[in-house]
């Protein structure tokens, strides 16, 4: 057995939430060790597979400029960033709460979103406007939509690299290929307390505080089926293969209570033929190319040849996390996204990536006949009905909810409805890709993990995907990384305070 190591704060995991927790504890003078289950090539959890976007409340562009890596970019002066007040952020979360009020965790997310991003910027992390994905040109200006304006430079991989560099610069240590298999516990004043972890090699790493930040259970098929349902056996895992619920397991063994919505998750339309798990071998900016989230510019058809969602019910960043589930629930767990030439210039780059799966034809009937697994006759009927129902009196404007809808169609099309009639036509096969799960643990205001009776487990903290109650049945895009940062900072602060309160 290896010699025992003692640190102030031990962080399990190396994604956004973990690194923010580590940075917070380091800035308060603690010694910090981050342990990562995978090799360095797989470090970063799900963070490296994201676009790095951060949703937070702000009143005007004046709040954004200090956060930007290059506020002097000439595009900034002519852009319309609008505002995104806390009340709007709250309303956006409420729309996914199935009629329930904001949870305590959601209230924290809203209130602490801007202060946390400002804290990160003060620590040295900078952001850039999401020009390509969150704005459209309108009357000579770039208009941002949906309350999401900034992302980390270099997207998710850049966020991970920058946060890791900050941790190392502040004196933190990171060890790879160090897998936690259990917690070290002892009795303190008649109560179970956590004082470190046991690794897969038998090493015992003692710590005055332990922060669990090692993700949910999305990469474990058995747990997906147990909590989410049988359709989820065939879901693609669009992130790391390492999130298999280990943090949940060891926390439960220490007396932690499950909390949140285990039956729900974030799931995105993905290329049907992508390999399972994300591909970190691709350059950072290409890892997202399997996503297929421009459905609002066309229509989606299932195996029966029918539409099954309102593709234009809202801006994409309010619907994409739900439509992955909708696709998985269709016969065979797949669908086809259909576009004509009018959409070509608006499709995101992943639709033209070199290995994107699609078929193309100058004849719509021919295209439909080549949709593998689809009832072609019904699909032709569905497309004819859609084209006939488009309201041509309303102009198309992708920068707003334009109200360009269909008339008398079920399911309806609420915005951006345009006839599919201009060749060449393209069809992309898609399925659902799971990103992260919503069920987790209950934590208090300092990030301490709670038992079923509400009592904290001394020495044990959690953040990131392990915090339950943040999301109910969906979320507005960009909230996940912000949640990781908000609760990561809280856990780091709490862990440092726990260290300071201990004798010696």
Domain membership flag for residue 252: no
Instruction: Please give the structure tokens belonging to residue 24.
Output: 């917070």
Residue 428 maps to a domain: yes
DSSP assignment of 321-372: HHHHHHHHTSGGG-EEEEE-GGGGGGS-GGGGSTT---EEES-HHHHHHT-T
**Do 179 and 39 fall into the same domain?**
yes
Whole-structure pTM value: 0.92
What's the gap between Cα 161 and its chain centre? 18
Q: Is 400 within a domain?
A: yes
- C-alpha span between 497 and 504 (Å, rounded): 14
- Rounded CA separation 220/309 (Å): 28
* Helix (H/G/I), strand (E/B), else coil: 17: helix
Work out how many domains the chain is built from and give that number.
2
Of 389, 405, 432, the last residue of a domain is 432
Q: Do 307 and 270 contact (CB within 8 A), yes or no?
A: no
Alpha helices in 128-253 (DSSP H): 131-134, 155-169, 221-228, 246-253
- CATH code assigned at 139: 3.50.50.60
Distance of alpha carbon 13 from alpha carbon 498, whole angstroms: 20
| Residue 414 shares a structural domain with residue 442 | no
335 and 477 both lie in a single domain? no
Residue 343 shares a structural domain with residue 489: no
Reduced to 3 states (helix: H, G, I; strand: E, B; else coil), residue 263 is strand
Tokens of residue 211, six digits: 């922060």
| 39 and 27 inside one domain | yes
Tokens standing for residue 463: 């953040």
Q: Which of 389, 409, 432 is the last residue of a domain?
A: 432
3-class secondary structure, 194: strand
Give the integer Cα–Cα distance in Å for 142 and 144: 6
Q: What kind and span of H or E run contains 479?
A: helix 479-501
For residue 132, the enclosing domain spans 5-217+435-501
Domain boundary among 406, 432, 458: 432
337, 443: one domain: no
Contacts of 160 (CB under 8 A, 6+ apart): 14, 15, 16, 19, 43, 44, 47, 48
Nearest C-alpha neighbor of 213 from the set 464, 481, 471: 464
In a domain, 168, yes or no: yes
One pLDDT digit (tens) per residue for the chain, 504 residues? 455 778 999 999 999 999 999 999 999 999 999 999 999 999 999 999 898 999 999 999 999 999 999 999 999 999 999 999 999 999 999 999 999 999 999 999 999 999 999 999 999 999 999 998 888 888 889 999 889 999 999 999 999 999 999 999 999 999 999 999 999 999 877 788 999 999 999 999 999 999 999 999 999 999 999 999 999 999 999 889 999 999 999 999 999 999 999 999 999 999 999 888 766 666 555 555 688 999 999 999 999 999 999 999 999 889 988 999 999 999 999 999 999 999 999 998 889 887 889 999 999 999 999 999 999 999 999 999 999 999 999 999 998 999 999 999 999 999 999 999 999 999 999 999 999 999 999 999 999 999 999 999 999 999 999 999 999 999 999 999 999 999 999 999 999 999 999 986
3-state helix, strand, coil in the chain (%, to 5): 35, 25, 40
Same domain flag for 464 and 393: no
Same domain, 299 and 422: yes
């Amino acid at each position: 057995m290896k010699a025992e190591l003692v640190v102030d704060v031990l962080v399990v995991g190396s994604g956004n939430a973990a690194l923010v927790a580590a940075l917070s504890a380091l800035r308060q003078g603690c010694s910090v060790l981050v342990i990562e289950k995978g090799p360095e090539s797989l470090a970063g959890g799900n963070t490296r597979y994201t676009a790095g976007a951060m949703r937070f409340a702000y009143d005007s562009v004046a709040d954004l400029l200090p956060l930007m890596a290059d506020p002097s970019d000439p595009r900034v002066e002519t852009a319309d960033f609008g505002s995104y007040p806390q009340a709007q952020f709250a309303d956006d979360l409420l729309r996914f709460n199935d009629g329930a009020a904001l949870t305590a965790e959601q209230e924290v997310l809203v209130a602490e979103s801007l202060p946390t991003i400002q804290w990160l910027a003060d620590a040295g992390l900078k952001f850039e406007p999401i020009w390509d994905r969150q704005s459209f040109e309108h009357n000579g200006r770039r208009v941002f939509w949906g309350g999401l304006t900034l992302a980390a430079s270099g997207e998710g991989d850049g966020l991970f690299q920058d946060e890791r560099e900050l941790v190392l610069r502040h004196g933190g240590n990171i060890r790879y290929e160090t897998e936690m298999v259990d917690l070290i516990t002892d009795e303190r004043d008649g109560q179970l307390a956590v004082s470190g972890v046991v690794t897969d090699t038998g090493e015992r790493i003692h710590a005055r505080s332990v922060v669990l930040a090692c993700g949910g259970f999305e990469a474990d098929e058995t747990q997906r089926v147990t909590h989410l349902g049988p359709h989820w056996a065939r879901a693609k895992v669009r992130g790391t293969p390492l999130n298999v619920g280990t943090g949940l397991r060891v926390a439960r063994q220490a007396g932690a209570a499950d909390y949140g919505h285990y039956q729900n998750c974030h799931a995105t339309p993905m290329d049907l033929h992508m390999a399972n798990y994300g591909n970190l071998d691709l350059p950072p900016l290409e890892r997202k190319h399997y996503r297929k989230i421009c459905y609002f510019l066309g229509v989606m058809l299932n195996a029966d040849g029918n539409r099954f969602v309102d593709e234009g019910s809202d801006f994409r960043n309010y619907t994409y996390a739900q439509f992955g589930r909708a696709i998985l629930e269709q016969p065979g767990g797949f669908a086809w996204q259909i576009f004509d030439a009018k959409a070509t210039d608006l499709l995101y780059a992943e639709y033209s990536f070199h290995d994107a799966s699609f078929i193309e034809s100058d004849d719509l009937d021919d295209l439909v006949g080549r949709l593998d697994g689809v009832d072609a006759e019904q699909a032709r009927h569905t497309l004819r009905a859609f084209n006939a129902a488009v309201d041509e009196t309303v102009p198309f404007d992708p920068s707003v909810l334009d109200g360009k809808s269909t008339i008398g169609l079920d399911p309806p099309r609420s915005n951006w409805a345009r006839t599919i009639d201009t060749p060449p036509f393209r069809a992309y096969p898609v399925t659902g890709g799971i990103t992260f799960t919503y069920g987790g643990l209950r934590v208090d205001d300092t990030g301490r993990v709670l038992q079923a009776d509400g009592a904290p487990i001394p020495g044990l903290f959690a953040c990131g995907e392990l915090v339950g109650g943040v999301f109910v049945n969906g979320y507005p895009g960009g909230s996940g990384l912000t949640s990781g940062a908000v609760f990561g900072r809280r856990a780091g602060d709490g862990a440092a305070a726990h260290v300071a309160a201990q004798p010696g």
